[in-house]
Structure 1
Amino acid sequence: MSVFLGLPGASPVPSVPSVPDRLSVLYRGPLASCNYDCPYCPFAKRVDPPPLLREDRAALGRFVDWVVETTDVRLSILFTPWGEGLIRSWYREAIVRLSHQDHVDRVSIQTNLAARVDWMADAAPTAALWATYHPGQVTLERFLARCRRLDEIGRRYSVGVVGLPGHHEAALELRAALEPSVYLWVNAAEGHTYSPEEEARWTALDPRFGDSVRPHVSFGQPCHAGESAVSVIGDGTVRRCHFIDTPLGNLYDGSWRQALRPRPCTNRICDCHIGYVHLKPLGLYDVYGPGVLERILA
């Protein structure tokens, strides 16, 4: 017996959520090693064994292939490794390859700039770097040499520091030496309470410091995460963001597509930039514009 949909009395056809025209993807593979030993970082001087490095390389290769093949949506990619990715050749190669894909709007990575940046000349201008200066781990001259090379080859980047009291003088020197067009951001140090005077000093360097200095009450708030932004780990598990563990599906079986939709945040607070930047009430997409993933102001 045939059923004609749309006739009076017929049951409505369930709608299938559509994939947004643009999707931001934050990718984090198994890599957790770093060549720096910053006292405020739990991954300082951590060394990944060769089997884990091979696993990370294979996982990244699979992800890059997925991006290349997924041409029905415009993609922006931010690599957020626990450790330092650019000292590994496969991250550099991935950024260059993805930057030349017509459907990739942006590709960026969080980095300490320990590695040389000449390879960025092979990347398209869609590639950018989110760099962090760590006083005590590298000289200012060496760090600035990387920045100046990026300026020479015309690649976009932001630079930031952790707002510890002992970093303020170095941050002032950094600001004075950078090109005026380069955004210098400051992350509030975890566990540090800022007096009004301290907050004012850091805000003089970064007008957006107030976004970082106090956690944002996020419970029940609308967020782009899970709707037009997702996080992905090495095995392809897709989550709304790095801070909500509930999976939405898997990147490689397509189950993520049906899971995208507007959702309120389920966490009480959000205190990390890669999380709260997606909270809709904060309006930070307007502040950063197309540079939202690489933390470059509009």
Structure 2
Amino acid sequence: MTILYRGPLASCDYDCGYCPFAKRRDSPEQLRADRAALERFTAWVAGRPHGVSVLFTPWGEGLVRSWYRRALVELSRLPHVGRVAIQTNLGQRIGWTAGADLTKLAFWATYHPDQVPYARFLGRCRELAERGVRHSAGIVGLPEHLAAARRLRADLPPEVYLWVNAAEGRSYTDAEAAQWSEIDPLFSYSRHPHPSRGVPCRTGDTVISVDGDGTVRRCHFVSEVLGNLYDGTFRPRRSPCPHEICDCHIGYVHLESLPLYDVFAGGILERVPAPQGR
């Protein structure tokens, strides 16, 4: 079972113009609720008798909060956890990863050129590589980010995958797409939404989305509730996607109509392609 966990945390230390959660502040009460929800989820995973992998996909930035760092370390050290990963802006120091099982911990890091000095983000990526922490790095494919993306691709170790997400609502000419594909050979998967209605998908069966209350949905993008993780009402079930299109990587990567489980074999959660996928 793969779980995409998203608790109530919505605050972020960055102010990206394309993100609705930029510089949002959670109240102390909201932060306490998020911490309690995460600790409950971590305890559930610890008590699960079968294998599980977890990707944390917070609306905000999780690694600024000690309870997310602690959860990543604790979950990585459980024998039945295959992988534990988090989406992050990599703005925080990463020395705490020394306490984790680095065969299981992974980061999905996003570079925001107008939010952080280039040298700081590149330095964090290099430190992850030096520490042996699996990670991918990426950027949103806006025209003003192209030069920074090219620079980052040139400076990162060649074995670190640099992904490019198509900007929401943006259409790319073939010439523009070719520029981004030079940086990310897999950009074509992000460029266009994928037809999904009636298409077999692993979500709801071997992949689920869980919120802070334990409510289970097939993925973050389908509102239908499948039960609750904590009261035993959830039962895995495979069914075709009910939406017309799927346009987010954490959704369409699980479509059986696409070859991405082969492309990202061994690195689905952290968006790290298998060697032949690079």
Is TM-score (shorter-chain normalized) higher than 0.5? yes
Q: Any idea what the Cα deviations from partners look like across 1:93-121, whole Å, max 9, x if unmatched?
A: 00000000000000000000011111111
Residue 262 (structure 1) shift: 1.7
> What RMSD over aligned residues (CA atoms) do the two structures have, in Å?
0.6
Q: How far apart, in 2, do the equivalents of 1:186 and 1:230 lie? A: 25
Q: How many pairs align?
A: 273
Residue 188 (structure 1) shift: 0.1
Q: Any idea what the Cα deviations from partners look like across 1:123-180, whole Å, max 9, x if unmatched?
A: 1120000000000100110101111111121111000000000000000111111111
What one-letter code is carried by the residue in structure 2 that aligns with 1:225? T
Residue of 53, 64, 74 corresponding to 1:87: 64
Structure 2 counterparts to residues 202-281 of structure 1, below 5 A: 202-256=180-234, 259-281=235-257
Q: Any idea what the Cα deviations from partners look like across 1:10-63, whole Å, max 9, x if unmatched?
A: xxxxxxxxxxxxx00000000000000000000011011110000000000000
Residue 253 (structure 1) shift: 1.1
Tell me the residue number matched to 1:294: 270
Query: Which structure 2 residue ranges, 5 or more long, are not aligned?
Result: none
Tell me the residue number matched to 1:9: none
| 4+ residue runs over 6 A deviation | none
For residue 101 of structure 2, give the secondary structure of its aligned residue in structure 1.
coil
Q: How far apart, in 2, do the equivalents of 1:69 and 1:47 lie? A: 33
Q: How far apart, in 2, do the equivalents of 1:232 and 1:277 lie? A: 18
Structure 2 counterparts to residues 99-178 of structure 1, below 5 A: 99-125=76-102, 126-178=104-156
What one-letter code is carried by the residue in structure 1 that aligns with 2:79? D
Query: Rg larger in 1 or in 2?
Result: 1
Sequence identity (%): 60
Residue of 149, 160, 170 corresponding to 1:182: 160
Q: How far apart, in 2, do the equivalents of 1:262 and 1:34 lie? A: 34
For residue 63 of structure 1, give the secondary structure of its aligned residue in structure 2.
helix
Q: Any idea what the Cα deviations from partners look like across 1:159-211, whole Å, max 9, x if unmatched?
A: 00000000000001111111110000000001111111000000111111011
What one-letter code is carried by the residue in structure 1 that aligns with 2:214? G
Q: How far apart, in 2, do the equivalents of 1:217 and 1:92 lie? A: 36
For residue 270 of structure 2, give the secondary structure of its aligned residue in structure 1.
coil
What one-letter code is carried by the residue in structure 1 that aligns with 2:136? S
Query: Which structure 1 residue ranges, 5 or more long, are not aligned?
Result: 1-22
Residue 274 (structure 1) shift: 0.4
Q: How far apart, in 1, do the equivalents of 2:64 and 2:143 lie? A: 29
